């Protein structure tokens, strides 16, 4: 009987030592996970880039067309890089091993980078669309007071070609109607201009009317785009949740979960 009790106590002691060892080992593992997530966040600090581009877009009304054109090209490239990097960061998070107490932090961080990629993609769609409109307008910069009829015909024809090729599919769905309306209005204006330039029509009032409609549709799209960007989810909220989770996990010393 005494031997049985002794064996039982020894077994209990081994189990206790094993349990405590596992608890401290798991606590270290959880803290390690928190450190890994912090490293990923530090390496892929993408939110400031998106915020900078959003701010610049809102200020487009104060800029020259040439500046908007140059910035749009640059921002499109930057946003493409942000999308790829956010997707890469999401995969890095998904590949981390997380014990049960760290599962929420892993889920939140993966969701955060998914949302970053989506916002960058939406913003790129808006900027790329505006770039297409600007490229059409830039063609008219070649038109001079002393341009010949043939030169004017050529300029208008190239503008119509660019206008017809404008794509709206990469825009957020809620902006596609405004975008299509702007495209259609611009193409109507180009047709009216061609008619007047080639003397098919002398109705300059119709040309003025189509230009005014085009300008209105342009303002409507820009306002809708600005409203869409202003309505994007504030990712500072989810960033704050991740920070709290990481701080909590960083304090874990012992855990059996």
pTM comes to 0.84
Q: Are 229 and 58 in contact (CB under 8 A)?
A: yes
Mean pLDDT of 141-170: 83
Q: Give the pLDDT of residue 196.
A: 79
Phi then psi for residue 166, to 5 deg, are -60, 135
**CA pair distance 175, 33, nearest whole angstrom:** 40
Which pLDDT value is given to residue 253? 62
Q: Residue 124: which pLDDT band, with cuts at 50, 70 and 90?
A: very high
Q: Where are the alpha helices (DSSP H) in the chain?
A: 2-43, 47-58, 65-94, 103-139, 149-164, 176-197, 204-230, 236-250
Question: What's the pLDDT band for 159 if we cut at 50, 70, 90?
Answer: confident
Task: Answer whether 160's CB lies under 8 Å from 187's CB.
Answer: yes
With both helix axes pointing from N to C terminus, report the angle between 103-139 and 236-250 in degrees, rounded to the nearest 10: 150
List, for residues 20-32, the tens digit of each pLDDT value. 454 555 667 778 7
């Amino acid at each position: 009987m005494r031997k049985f009790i002794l064996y039982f106590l020894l077994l209990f002691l081994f189990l206790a030592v094993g349990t405590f060892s596992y608890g401290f080992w798991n606590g270290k593992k959880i803290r390690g996970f928190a450190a890994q997530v912090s490293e990923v966040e530090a390496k892929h600090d993408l939110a400031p880039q998106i915020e900078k581009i959003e701010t610049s877009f809102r200020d487009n009304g104060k800029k020259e067309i040439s500046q908007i054109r140059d910035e749009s090209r640059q921002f499109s490239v930057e946003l493409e890089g942000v999308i790829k990097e956010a997707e890469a960061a999401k995969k890095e998070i998904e590949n981390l091993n997380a014990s049960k107490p760290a599962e929420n932090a892993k889920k939140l961080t993966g969701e955060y980078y998914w949302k970053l990629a989506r916002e960058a993609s939406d913003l790129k769609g808006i900027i790329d669309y505006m770039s297409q409109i600007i490229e059409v307008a830039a063609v008219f910069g070649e038109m001079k007071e002393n341009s010949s009829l043939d030169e004017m015909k050529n300029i208008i024809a190239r503008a119509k070609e660019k206008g017809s090729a404008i794509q709206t599919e990469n825009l957020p769905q809620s902006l596609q109607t405004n975008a299509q309306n702007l495209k259609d209005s611009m193409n109507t204006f180009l047709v009216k201009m061609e008619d007047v330039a080639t003397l098919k029509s002398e109705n300059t009032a119709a040309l003025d009317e189509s230009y005014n409609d085009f300008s209105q549709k342009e303002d409507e799209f820009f306002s809708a785009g600005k409203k869409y960007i202003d309505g994007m989810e504030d990712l500072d909220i989810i960033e704050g949740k991740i920070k709290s989770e990481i701080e909590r996990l960083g304090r874990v010393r012992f855990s059996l979960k």
